[in-house]
Chains A and B, each alone.
Chain A
Amino acid sequence: MNMHATILRTPAEAALIEAFAERCSDLPGNESVVIRRDEAMEVLKQGLPTRRVESWHYTDMRRLLSSVPTYDAHGHAEVLAPVLDGSVVLPMLVGAASGAAPALEGVTFRPVRDKLADGSLAQALVPQGDDDAIGALNAAFVRDGWFVDIADGVMVERPIELQNVQGGGQAHVRLPVRVGNGVKATIVERQTGAGAGFVTSVANLVVGDDSDVLYVIVQEQPETATHLGQFNAWIGKNAKLTLFVMNAGGKLVRQEVRVVAKGEGSDFQLRGVNLLAGDTHTDLTMVLDHTVPHTGSRELVRNVVTGKARGVFQGRINVHQIAQKTDAKMACNTLLLSDDAEFSTKPELEIFADDVACGHGATVTEIDRNHLFYLMARGIDEKTARGLLVEAFVASVIEELEDETIVEALEARLHQWFAEHG
């Protein structure tokens, strides 16, 4: 991760190494898992990534991660009402899967600690490349999570909510989700809690052929927590994956999205909303690989930045040499609402196939004065007019999701955020 192995360790790095020495014997896993954990720790001992590592250019972990809380086994967390009414909730409290596996037709649930104990998850613990700090951190410390397996041809009636509630200490979870062929499902990954927690969460989603999956990440950590999330997905033939990411909290947040379109005719849609306030740092980084011909993708990310918040969006679309007829479009729009707000964006294209249509657009701006004037000319005061415009700017991303109940539920959260920070 860092080429200079001789540099002095930051307090956070030292705390991580110490935590591992203390904890490793208690963490679940057979021999092969232990080997993976040790390997991941060796990577971490090289130091956390700095701005010299290209994929971490705007999120210098050595500088930003000032401290890591000790592991607190007695932290307290409770199961919350789900984001979407009628969801099947799979709680993870202070990093451990809680309660018995619920019953849902065609779907199997298992706590991840079982899959660590029998070693079936060992292979998935190998970090992806030498800049995969989140993968390495999670591999070293992962304790639990939920494994979800949806059988072929199942139309999952109820949304599934993977609810990760931290209680101030460390929480490291993994969410392996296997979706069979011809499945339709909605999955919500919820990241929340209370206190200055240190959370890592890695979701690995395999979408089978002809399936249609909506995956929603709602990250609402308190403004004292560090949240490092990673979402990996592999999309099969003629399958569709819509990923919705909402970041509305956290002190230091990095959410990585790594998607591989590996089946012909697959479609990936990313809709992202970053609501940033306070003295916080939030990074949404996406890497999308089009590896076969005839695949499509659309990414739309909208950011509202206020207070002293700093936001980052990095998006890279790789079009492999054989991936002809790729149709990929990416857009990132940002509204800066205060003088101290900052936003950095790096939308990259890497293209090796010649018969493609790829594009990206990025804008950073303040509220359009003409729009403001239009509303104020109609007797709406400035504060309200601004609020309306900003909310509409973000809501248009949410409205692109087809399901009305989901749109309403997310808009309610959006509204709440604006009520608190607007």
Chain B
Amino acid sequence: MPAVQETIEQVRRIDVDQYKYGFETVIEVDKAPKGLSEDTIRLISAKKDEPEWMLEWRLQAYRRWLTLEEPTWARVEYPKIDFQDIHYYAAPKNHAGPKSLDEVDPELLRVYEKLGIPLKEQEILAGVKKPGHETEADGVLSDLANDNVYKSGRVAVDAVFDSVSVVTTFKDELAKAGVIFCSISEAIREHPELVRKYLGSVVPITDNFYATLNSAVFTDGSFVFVPKGVRCPMELSTYFRINEKDTGQFERTLIIAEEGSYVSYLEGCTAPQRDENQLHAAVVELIALDDAEIKYSTVQNWYPGDAQGKGGIYNFVTKRGDCRGDRSKISWTQVETGSAITWKYPSCILRGDDSRGEFYSIAVSNGYQQVDSGTKMIHLGKNTSSRIISKGIAAGFSQNTYRGQVSAHRKATNARNFTNCDSLLIGNNCGAHTVPYMEAKNATAQFEHEATTSKISEDQKFYVMQRGIPEEEAVALIVNGFVKDVIQELPMEFAVEAQKLIGISLEGSVG
């Protein structure tokens, strides 16, 4: 199979401590001084040109945050974070909200090209007509796009660089369908009524230590609004990049799917290779009204630290979806390969009757990575169902924990859950842990949970190697088979990427 061969090649070229996206770009930036105080928050709010209510909201969160203690229940260990030693705002200079890609700093575009996201080509190829730049060639390309490119999957991208969104592609075309896709800062200015209504309605400012911090200092992120009955014409995507030193990235994503709408959203992230740890504390809120469906996919590839466990991103993320309407559906798919520490539990609140939540996850840890991830399925409405498929792969000296909660409220009659979490261990210096919580307060609830931990069996390996495949490739093949259930749920472009990532993360683990 050519795809597999390609993966193998990729794996060979890149060693475990040679993180592909570890380059650093020198771009002139505008940074807030280090430290966190009400002044910092006022500065961020002012930089973003925010209305008064937004600033108040942030300050309220900050005051709350001061009263909170850092959570210690997760199975992760790290030195205490000095929250005063971080720049809470860093933006590329000369960033005055470009109208089109032509106005974006070419240096920035090159960064995204290097990351495999050629923002410009993509848009041109797809034939986006820019006012004043219309040429015949554009027209031809546009036709081409309609015939071919559409089917090959176009993706609208919001590119977030340190603290700001630098560009969002395909905006005009999306607007034709009534879909709003822009940076959250822009949404706060342009669509305050929507932001005010929904922001913090799933993850309130009092939620938890990191979410509250994020509410106080978030700098950018994406905003998506899909109106009633609209099926979003293309995949939406945000690409997060941390570039500056000593900064933290605090992004906020808000996705609203109105009655009967559908949207598929992808998220990718990378960061330069550094010896210091950097903090990333994001909040993602999803809201699905009656009959709406949101599919949220993540390929998380923050810098994981080197082979000795030095450096890497601390990834403390709060992601939650609210199936607010009847028959709504939210599905989370995640491939976690990066970050020194991952602390992340994308959850679903199944509030509407007949609503459905899904969680598919692959977490691969190597080196000294620590992963504590899982989900919560909170069944509140009648006839709600949820499914959890989690695959953890631990290698090297890493610790990989699945932590999940399934609960059925007293009134959640006929709640259904199926959970399957499997762990695979490669080498005997790593650890795999499963901590599921199941809480049934209703006799009609039906919960099933199963978990297994094993290593790749010698028989499986022998079978593959017998056919002339070297050991390392055999392991990659078996692992890909192990995670197939999850990969299947990813949009096509990401599935390929994810398969490659898994190969890379496992490099050097045999023996």
Footprint of B on A, CB under 8 Å?
A: 54, 57, 321, 324, 334, 336-339, 341-366
Q: Are A360 and B431 in contact (CB under 8 A)?
A: no
Q: How far is the CA of A365 from the CA of B440 in the complex (A)?
A: 9
Contacts of A341 in B (CB 8 A): 443
Ranked 10 nearest A-B pairs via Cβ: A354-B425, A336-B443, A359-B452, A364-B440, A362-B449, A349-B434, A364-B447, A344-B439, A354-B428, A361-B450
Contacts of A357 in B (CB 8 A): 452-454
Contacts of A345 in B (CB 8 A): 437-438
Closest CB-CB distance, B472 to chain A, in whole Å? 17
Contacts of B432 in A (CB 8 A): 349, 351
B68 within 8 A of partner (CB): no
Contacts of A365 in B (CB 8 A): 445-447
**In the complex, residue of chain A having the shortest beta-carbon distance to the beta carbon of B454:** A357
B264 within 8 A of partner (CB): no
**In the complex, residue of chain A having the shortest beta-carbon distance to the beta carbon of B445:** A364
Q: How far is the CA of A269 from the CA of B450 in the complex (A)?
A: 19
Contacts of B441 in A (CB 8 A): 342
Q: Are B455 and A346 in contact (CB under 8 A)?
A: no
Closest CB-CB distance, A318 to chain B, in whole Å? 9
Closest CB-CB distance, A12 to chain B, in whole Å? 25
Assuming the contacts A321-B428, A342-B441, A363-B448, asked whether A348 and B434 have C-beta atoms less than 8 A apart, the reply is: yes
Contacts of A342 in B (CB 8 A): 439-441
- 26 CB-based A-B contacts, threshold 8 Å: A336-B440, A336-B442, A338-B443, A339-B443, A342-B439, A342-B440, A343-B440, A344-B440, A345-B438, A346-B435, A348-B434, A348-B435, A349-B451, A351-B425, A351-B431, A352-B428, A354-B455, A355-B428, A356-B425, A358-B453, A361-B448, A361-B450, A363-B447, A364-B438, A364-B446, A365-B447
Map CB proximity to A onto B246-263 as digits: 1 under 8 Å, 0 otherwise. 000000000000000000
B380 within 8 A of partner (CB): no
Contacts of B435 in A (CB 8 A): 346, 348
B427 within 8 A of partner (CB): yes
Contacts of B453 in A (CB 8 A): 349, 351, 356-359
Contacts of A57 in B (CB 8 A): 437
Contacts of A360 in B (CB 8 A): 434, 449-451
Query: Quick one: which of A336, A338, A356, A364 contacts B455, CB cutoff 8 A?
Result: A356
Q: How far is the CA of A313 from the CA of B440 in the complex (A)?
A: 12
Q: How far is the CA of A350 from the CA of B428 in the complex (A)?
A: 13
**In the complex, residue of chain A having the shortest beta-carbon distance to the beta carbon of B401:** A350
Most chain A beta carbons < 10 A, residue from B426, B427, B438:
B438
B53 within 8 A of partner (CB): no
Closest CB-CB distance, A345 to chain B, in whole Å? 5
B73 within 8 A of partner (CB): yes
**In the complex, residue of chain A having the shortest beta-carbon distance to the beta carbon of B403:** A348
B444 within 8 A of partner (CB): yes
Closest CB-CB distance, B382 to chain A, in whole Å? 14
Q: Are A349 and B438 in contact (CB under 8 A)?
A: no
Contacts of A361 in B (CB 8 A): 448-451
Assuming the contacts A359-B451, A362-B449, asked whether A354 and B444 have C-beta atoms less than 8 A apart, the reply is: no
Assuming the contacts A354-B425, A356-B455, A360-B450, asked whether A348 and B433 have C-beta atoms less than 8 A apart, the reply is: yes
B214 within 8 A of partner (CB): no
Q: Are B425 and A346 in contact (CB under 8 A)?
A: no
Q: How far is the CA of A336 from the CA of B454 in the complex (A)?
A: 32
Closest CB-CB distance, B27 to chain A, in whole Å? 44
- Knowing that A348-B436, A354-B427 are A-B contacts, what are 5 other residue pairs whose CB atoms are under 8 Å apart, sorted by A's residue number? A321-B428, A348-B435, A350-B431, A358-B452, A361-B450
Q: Are B443 and A347 in contact (CB under 8 A)?
A: no
Contacts of B433 in A (CB 8 A): 348-351
B423 within 8 A of partner (CB): yes
Contacts of B445 in A (CB 8 A): 336, 364-366
**In the complex, residue of chain B having the shortest beta-carbon distance to the beta carbon of A345:** B438
Contacts of B440 in A (CB 8 A): 334, 336, 342-344, 364
Map CB proximity to A onto B396-413 as digits: 1 under 8 Å, 0 otherwise. 000000000000001000
Which residues 416-434 of B have a CB within 8 angstroms of A?
423, 425-434
Q: Are B443 and A337 in contact (CB under 8 A)?
A: yes
**In the complex, residue of chain B having the shortest beta-carbon distance to the beta carbon of A355:** B455
Closest CB-CB distance, B487 to chain A, in whole Å? 23
Closest CB-CB distance, A224 to chain B, in whole Å? 24
**In the complex, residue of chain B having the shortest beta-carbon distance to the beta carbon of A352:** B431
**In the complex, residue of chain A having the shortest beta-carbon distance to the beta carbon of B75:** A350
Assuming the contacts A360-B451, A366-B446, asked whether A347 and B431 have C-beta atoms less than 8 A apart, the reply is: no
Q: Are B436 and A362 in contact (CB under 8 A)?
A: yes
Contacts of B449 in A (CB 8 A): 347, 360-363
Q: How far is the CA of A365 from the CA of B433 in the complex (A)?
A: 25
Q: How far is the CA of A348 from the CA of B447 in the complex (A)?
A: 16
Q: How far is the CA of A357 from the CA of B426 in the complex (A)?
A: 13
Q: How far is the CA of A321 from the CA of B445 in the complex (A)?
A: 38
Contacts of A346 in B (CB 8 A): 435-438
Q: Are A353 and B451 in contact (CB under 8 A)?
A: no
Q: How far is the CA of A366 from the CA of B427 in the complex (A)?
A: 41
Q: Are B73 and A339 in contact (CB under 8 A)?
A: no
**In the complex, residue of chain B having the shortest beta-carbon distance to the beta carbon of A344:** B439
Q: How far is the CA of A236 from the CA of B436 in the complex (A)?
A: 31
**In the complex, residue of chain B having the shortest beta-carbon distance to the beta carbon of A362:** B449
Closest CB-CB distance, B458 to chain A, in whole Å? 9
**In the complex, residue of chain B having the shortest beta-carbon distance to the beta carbon of A52:** B73
Most chain A beta carbons < 10 A, residue from B434, B444, B448:
B434
Q: How far is the CA of A357 from the CA of B410 in the complex (A)?
A: 36
Q: How far is the CA of A65 from the CA of B454 in the complex (A)?
A: 41
Q: How far is the CA of A362 from the CA of B428 in the complex (A)?
A: 27
Q: Are A354 and B426 in contact (CB under 8 A)?
A: yes
Closest CB-CB distance, B353 to chain A, in whole Å? 18
Contacts of B442 in A (CB 8 A): 336, 339
Q: Are B452 and A362 in contact (CB under 8 A)?
A: no
Closest CB-CB distance, B66 to chain A, in whole Å? 19
Closest CB-CB distance, A77 to chain B, in whole Å? 37
Contacts of B436 in A (CB 8 A): 346-348, 362
Q: How far is the CA of A354 from the CA of B396 in the complex (A)?
A: 11
Q: Are A366 and B425 in contact (CB under 8 A)?
A: no
Contacts of B426 in A (CB 8 A): 354
Contacts of A354 in B (CB 8 A): 425-428, 430, 455
Q: How far is the CA of A14 from the CA of B500 in the complex (A)?
A: 61
Contacts of B429 in A (CB 8 A): 321
**In the complex, residue of chain B having the shortest beta-carbon distance to the beta carbon of A342:** B441
Q: How far is the CA of A347 from the CA of B444 in the complex (A)?
A: 21
**In the complex, residue of chain A having the shortest beta-carbon distance to the beta carbon of B449:** A362
Closest CB-CB distance, B460 to chain A, in whole Å? 14
Q: How far is the CA of A360 from the CA of B449 in the complex (A)?
A: 8
Closest CB-CB distance, A108 to chain B, in whole Å? 43
Contacts of B454 in A (CB 8 A): 356-358
Closest CB-CB distance, B505 to chain A, in whole Å? 16
Contacts of A343 in B (CB 8 A): 439-440
